[in-house]
């Protein structure tokens, strides 16, 4: 552009002022759009968080399948409900978990029992029974697990939380729910076997990594 202006006989200083004014005007008009497009490019091809066909958790509450990926937008499907979102929105505000790339996931089962029952001997017996249960299906369950017993609930109750890991991705939602239910039943049976007269199951949030038996 500057060479063309010089050829036409425009003075150098005038050509430079005109050129810089033109560039500044373009930056005001398109600077934001170029910045967003560049950031989207880095998000999709630099970070590469998902591919078409991947199952993802978005915002920590719902599972989607990626249907189409473009520079500005991504098309997601939630059991037939299609959602088109801005990539800049995902990048800036929504937690994203790629379930298709996650080899394992963990779940929890919570029960309330009488606090007086929860002794070290009681917990060791329950753990022994659960260990035998998990060994029967090593393809589904990781053999390591834990039982937390640090939260008291009035009146005179304590919450026992079983935490265990599944040996497959959470994108297989039905398989996860079935395996979780079986583990919850085995946990309840072990509690009853070793003295718990009754137990109450609490909560079932639909969040990856924090599911509980209903």
Q: Which residue has the tokens 């050129």?
A: 19
What mean pLDDT comes out for the span 86-106?
76
| pLDDT reading at 5 higher than 50 | no
Question: What's the whole-number average pLDDT of the chain?
Answer: 76
Q: Is the pLDDT of residue 39 over 70?
A: no
pLDDT given at position 34? 63
H/E stretch holding 53 reads: none
Residue 83 has pLDDT above 60, yes or no: yes
pLDDT at 92: 57
What pLDDT score does 27 carry? 54
pLDDT tens readout for residues 168-194:
988 888 899 999 999 999 999 999 999
DSSP H helices in the chain: 2-7, 12-41, 87-93, 120-135, 173-193
Lowest mean pLDDT segment, chosen from 6-10, 72-76, 158-162, 175-179: 6-10
CA 45 vs CA 34, 39, 40: distances in Å:
16, 10, 8
What residues form DSSP beta bridges with 146?
163
Portion of the chain with pLDDT greater than 70, in percent: 65
| Cα(53)–Cα(50) distance, integer angstroms | 8
| 192-195 own/partner pairs: CB under 8 Å, 24+ apart | 193/125, 193/129, 194/122, 194/125, 194/126, 194/129, 195/117, 195/122
Give the tens place of pLDDT for each residue, 98-139: 888 888 898 998 888 888 888 999 999 999 999 999 999 999
| Cα-Cα end-to-end distance for the chain | 70
| More confidently predicted of 128 and 39 | 128
- DSSP strand pairing (157-166 vs 96-98): unpaired
Higher pLDDT, 189 or 155: 189
């Amino acid at each position: 552009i500057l060479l063309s202006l010089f050829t036409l006989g425009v003075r150098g200083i005038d050509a430079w002022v005109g050129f810089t004014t033109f560039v500044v005007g373009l930056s005001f008009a398109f600077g934001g759009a170029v910045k967003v497009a560049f950031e989207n490019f880095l998000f999709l091809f630099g970070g590469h968080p998902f591919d078409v066909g991947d199952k993802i958790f978005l915002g920590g509450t719902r599972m989607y399948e990626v249907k189409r990926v473009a520079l500005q937008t991504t098309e997601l499907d939630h059991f037939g409900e299609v959602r088109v979102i801005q990539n800049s929105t995902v990048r800036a505000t929504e937690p994203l978990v790629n379930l298709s790339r996650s080899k394992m996931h963990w779940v929890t089962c919570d029960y309330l029992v009488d606090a007086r029952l929860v002794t070290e001997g009681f917990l060791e017996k329950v753990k022994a029974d659960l260990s035998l249960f998990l060994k029967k299906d090593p393809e589904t369950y990781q053999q390591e697990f834990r039982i937390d017993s640090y939260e008291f609930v009035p009146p005179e109750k304590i919450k026992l939380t079983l935490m265990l890991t599944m040996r497959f991705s959470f994108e297989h939602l039905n398989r996860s729910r079935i395996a979780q239910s079986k583990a919850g039943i085995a946990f309840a049976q072990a509690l009853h076997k070793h003295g718990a007269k009754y137990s109450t199951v609490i909560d079932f949030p639909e969040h990856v990594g924090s599911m509980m038996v209903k």
